[in-house]
Amino acid sequence: MSAGEEQAIIKQYQPLIRALIPYEQQNRLLEGINKFSKRLPSSVRKVVKEEVVRLTSLTDAPADNSAFAQFPVMKFKHFGIQMRLDKVGAKILKSETSLYQDRYTVGVFESVMNSDFYQNQIKKDQFRKIVDAFNIESQSFTDIDFGDDIAIRPNFTVSSPDFEKGRHCSVSSFSHVGMAVETKRPPNVTTGDNITFTLPEVLGLTKEPTDITFHLQSVKYNKHLGKYESFFLFPNDIDSDFINILKRYIEITAHRQPLQRDLEIERAMQELERDRILENSPWLPVYLSPHKKSLKPTIALFTKANVEHNNAENLLASLQDKPFFESLSNELLKYNEAFVFHGTIKVKSGAVKITATHRQLIKLGQLNALIYLLAKNGDFICTHCRMDKVTREDKQKAFAIHDIASKEFEQLSNLSHVLYCKDVSSYIANLTLSAKCNFKPLSSELKASGDNWHIDYVMEEDLDRRSETRYVIDKSASIKMGLLSSIDAKVADLSASGMRLLVAPNSELQKDIRVSVPDLKIKNEKYKVVHYHPPSGVVRLNLSEDGRKSKVSANVDNIVEENTAYFKVRDIARIQRSTHRFIWELAVRHMPSLAVLCVMNRFTLDRLKTVYQSDNSDDLYPFSRTQNIIPLHGFFADKGQAKPKSQILEGMFKETLEQSLVVHCVRKSDNRLVFIKEKDFLYSKLRAQIKSQLEDGKIQLSATDVTAIRCHGAITPLTKKRLAQLSKLDKAMYDKLETMQAGYTHCIFITNMSALHHDLVVENLIAKRKAKEAEPVPA
């Protein structure tokens, strides 16, 4: 074997050689070779063995890397041998000698003197610095589990003749382990004392004043509260039944009462940040209820951000078709994710409305043809859907937190799933075919049936256009159509100067009508038709502007005042507020994509504060988190830079860039990650090469959407609610958290869209280069 062939083998099997070095140090080289290289030819095994022996042999050659060093060179002796190394060289010397069991060998000498090894070390250090710079601590959308540490601050006091002369003292912390009692001055007690306190009658805990003996553990001054806290423990012989009742009481009341101060601050921080993410999220939540053996859409939650980033009317229309939604819900129950295409295509017989998921189109072999036709016509929407299950525990928490009686809201009790939707049509609108495809006859199962679900919606008060209080009511009414003709109607809701009527579907109505409601003393009053939906027969009315308006309004107000109790539970604003808060509470626990909260700071990277991620999210792929640390360099860091920089983040914070697609290819043979520029992936010939590699099963595609949304304001609809409990405990901390809310500037959402983009590539769909784009990037 020639010297050149030996060098080629050494280069090829370098990882194996380094793995065998510890075995040689322990005189187990043959064992190691047999373990790692059973199938290698004997000639290769021989070369590998000789190279390992050579590298582990001791040497006394002085090392000097001053020829390629980048830092000041230091002179020192190592194992009595002269060295001239810079900081990087000294670091290599230390790491290599540890590999060779603290011996100065030929391998150590060659590593220190090798310029390529030195440059690789610098690149590794630089990459590590970049990774560390983009590492952010994570939080979960799931509620913080305080476990056995959970303690509440109850709203009752306790007293004992042996403590503070029998005065009633506030309880700052109450748990199934013990309690902490507040006093203005140090109490006259000694650690280890047993003191019997009287607990008052507390609903769910004690049925009458109860005496319990506690063991004093310690007395400490709490600088945050400005008071002394005496910590008492339950004795070991305490009744186990009482402890079980106490645990259940704490579990039930933990959502209605403040927690112990430190826990309440932690809970408030999470709640405020989750609210901010939902408030500024482009995802629109639609809640589903069981229907026969499937699901049906019931109610949607509108926020400033999701209304701004989606055409809400079109988005809900893409989900309303009953036969389609049944197949969509079955697909979501299986995959938790779907992409819905809804729009109009032109065929020989005319324009046809279609609704289908991308998996349905692939199964029918019509994905490329229909996307081409939809994009060509332009009248379509592509909706990204993700679904999660709403548990019974989630609903119980939401009812408890907002003090809502579940019996009054049976529709909310029946909710079983939340479906998050987002318009991603921008990735489809510019697509065309890169190769010929077969235009098959349009499948009948893709055509919209016209039989639609009705989806209600609620919104925060700032978005609600109704200025008057409205009441749900069920009264008979009549509309005068002519001199001797009238049609029957039902009053659905009522306000001082308007009402909503239900008439027979497709009734003919004029712009101005006269309405009579005998039970409400409204007789032949003139109303203007604000909105009329003939298929459902829903008519919205407003009193005409004349002298009678004030009289009718006053009449309605008098009826409401005389029957306050009746109308209070029928107040639509109250019903909507409770509904809004309930479904908001469910939404914050099931957000569908990874979210990065950003704050004000001079330095770009320091603006990334916290990452929120659901426990089963795969939005980080092809990267993974380590414990509670999330690596974001793959999505934000500039590639090929020696220092941590991010053009994407700078563009998003300056608001010159709102959305970006980050693409990686994972090579299956060695799991190597290859970054692909967005323009190259969408427009260039490289897309055809990626398609070929995907079809051969050599790579896996990762396409991630990164969307930044500027925070709409410091206050969310539930900010006051979240801080209310804390205001009772610590006013200074309350003020601090309230002030902090103005520091959040952006929410960045990272969403894995690989399932769709993989199929678009494989189906020969490519983006058309826009006129303002530069020349195609060579592959």
What would the mean pLDDT of 748-752 be, rounded to a whole number? 96
Q: Is the pLDDT of residue 620 over 90?
A: yes
Residues comprising the chain, all counted: 779
The pLDDT value given to residue 7? 85
The pLDDT value given to residue 17? 86
Six token digits for residue 255: 């959502």
Number of helices and strands (H, E) in the chain? 26, 32
- The dihedral built from the CA positions of residue 164, 166, 168 and 173, taken in this order, carries a sign that is positive
Six token digits for residue 95: 């790491």
Q: Is the pLDDT of residue 773 over 70?
A: no
The predicted-structure confidence for 71-111, as pLDDT tens digits, reads as follows: 789 888 888 888 999 988 999 999 888 888 888 989 889 88
Do 340 and 354 form a contact (C-beta atoms < 8 A)?
no
Single-letter residue type at 269: M
Q: Is the pLDDT of residue 775 over 50?
A: no
User: Distance (Å, rounded) from C-alpha 73 to C-alpha 532?
Assistant: 85
Single-letter residue type at 236: N
The predicted-structure confidence for 479-510, as pLDDT tens digits, reads as follows: 888 777 888 898 888 887 788 889 888 888 88
- CA 322 remoteness from chain centre: 29
User: Distance (Å, rounded) from C-alpha 322 to C-alpha 312?
Assistant: 18
Residues 6+ apart with CB under 8 A from 658: 652, 707, 708, 709
- CA 416 remoteness from chain centre: 19
Q: Which residues pair with 228 in a beta bridge?
A: 183, 221
147 — phi, psi (to 5°)?
60, -135
Q: Model confidence at 779, in pLDDT bands (50, 70, 90)?
A: very low
Question: Parallel, antiparallel, or unpaired: how do β-strands 135-140 and 608-613 relate?
Answer: parallel
The pLDDT value given to residue 548? 53
How many Cα atoms are found within 13 Å in the side-chain-facing hemisphere of 221?
5
Between 282 and 522, name the one with better pLDDT.
Answer: 282
* Of 298-312, 433-447, 532-546, highest mean pLDDT: 298-312
Between 460 and 560, name the one with better pLDDT.
Answer: 460
Do 428 and 382 form a contact (C-beta atoms < 8 A)?
yes
Do 433 and 625 form a contact (C-beta atoms < 8 A)?
no
- CA 1 remoteness from chain centre: 60
Between 614 and 464, name the one with better pLDDT.
Answer: 614
Q: Model confidence at 519, in pLDDT bands (50, 70, 90)?
A: confident
Do 758 and 773 form a contact (C-beta atoms < 8 A)?
no
Cα R_g (the chain), whole angstroms? 35
pTM exceeding 0.85: no
Taking Cα atoms as reference points, which of 654, 635, 633 lies closest to residue 644?
A: 633
Mean pLDDT of all residues in the chain? 88
Residues 6+ apart with CB under 8 A from 12: none
Q: Model confidence at 541, in pLDDT bands (50, 70, 90)?
A: confident
Q: Model confidence at 547, in pLDDT bands (50, 70, 90)?
A: very low
Listed in order, strand segments (DSSP E) in 115-270 are 135-140, 157-158, 169-174, 178-183, 194-199, 210-222, 227-233
Q: Is the pLDDT of residue 555 over 80?
A: no
490 — phi, psi (to 5°)?
-125, 135
- CA 698 remoteness from chain centre: 32
Single-letter residue type at 13: Y
Give the Å distances, CA to CA, from 436 to 10, 332, 686.
Answer: 49, 32, 19
Q: Cα dihedral angle (627, 633, 635, 636), rounded to 10 degrees?
A: 130
Residues 6+ apart with CB under 8 A from 725: 257, 258, 259, 264, 268
Please state which of the ranges 398-412, 436-450, 657-671 shows the lowest mean pLDDT: 436-450
Single-letter residue type at 247: K
The pLDDT value given to residue 466? 54
Q: Is the pLDDT of residue 670 over 60?
A: yes
Give the Å distances, CA to CA, from 357 to 337, 342, 383, 389, 710.
Answer: 10, 9, 9, 20, 31
How many Cα atoms are found within 13 Å in the side-chain-facing hemisphere of 760?
24
- CA 693 remoteness from chain centre: 32
Q: Is the pLDDT of residue 29 over 80?
A: yes
Taking Cα atoms as reference points, which of 438, 424, 567 lies closest to residue 495?
A: 567
* Of 195-199, 522-526, 556-560, highest mean pLDDT: 195-199
DSSP structure string for 357-408? EHHHHHHHT-HHHHHHHHHHH--EEEEEEEEEEPPHHHHHHHHHHTT--GGG
How many Cα atoms are found within 13 Å in the side-chain-facing hemisphere of 348?
4
Backbone torsion region of residue 616, taken as left when φ is above 0, otherwise alpha when ψ lies between -120 and 50, otherwise beta: alpha
How does DSSP classify residue 159? B
Calculate ∠ Cα 290-252-588, nearest 5°: 50
The predicted-structure confidence for 121-177, as pLDDT tens digits, reads as follows: 888 888 889 999 999 999 999 999 898 889 999 989 999 999 988 999 999 999 999
Calculate ∠ Cα 243-247-253, nearest 5°: 140
**What long-range pairs does 118-124 form, CB within 8 A, spacing at least 24?**
118/65, 118/68, 118/88, 118/89, 118/92, 121/88, 121/91, 121/92, 122/70, 122/88
Q: Cα dihedral angle (695, 621, 602, 710), rounded to 10 degrees?
A: 80
The pLDDT value given to residue 550? 64
Do 562 and 464 form a contact (C-beta atoms < 8 A)?
no
249-258 b/e with 16+ CB inside 10 Å = b? bbeebbbebb
Q: Which residues pair with 347 in a beta bridge?
A: 350
Q: Model confidence at 569, in pLDDT bands (50, 70, 90)?
A: low
Q: Model confidence at 322, in pLDDT bands (50, 70, 90)?
A: very high
User: Distance (Å, rounded) from C-alpha 274 to C-alpha 744?
Assistant: 12
Give the Å distances, CA to CA, from 415 to 579, 621, 665, 686.
Answer: 12, 31, 39, 46
DSSP structure string for 97-111? HHHTTS--BHHHHHH
Percentages of the chain per state (helix, strand, coil), in multiples of 5: 35, 30, 30
**What long-range pairs does 680-688 form, CB within 8 A, spacing at least 24?**
680/777, 680/779, 682/766, 682/767, 683/766, 683/767, 683/769, 683/773, 683/776, 683/777, 684/776, 684/777, 684/778, 684/779, 685/776, 685/778, 685/779, 686/777, 686/779, 687/434, 687/761, 687/766, 688/434
Give the Å distances, CA to CA, from 211 to 108, 217, 232, 249.
Answer: 75, 19, 14, 18
- Domains parsed from the chain with CATH numbers: 3-135 (no CATH), 151-253 (2.40.10.220), 282-459 (no CATH), 471-565 (2.40.10.220), 594-767 (no CATH)
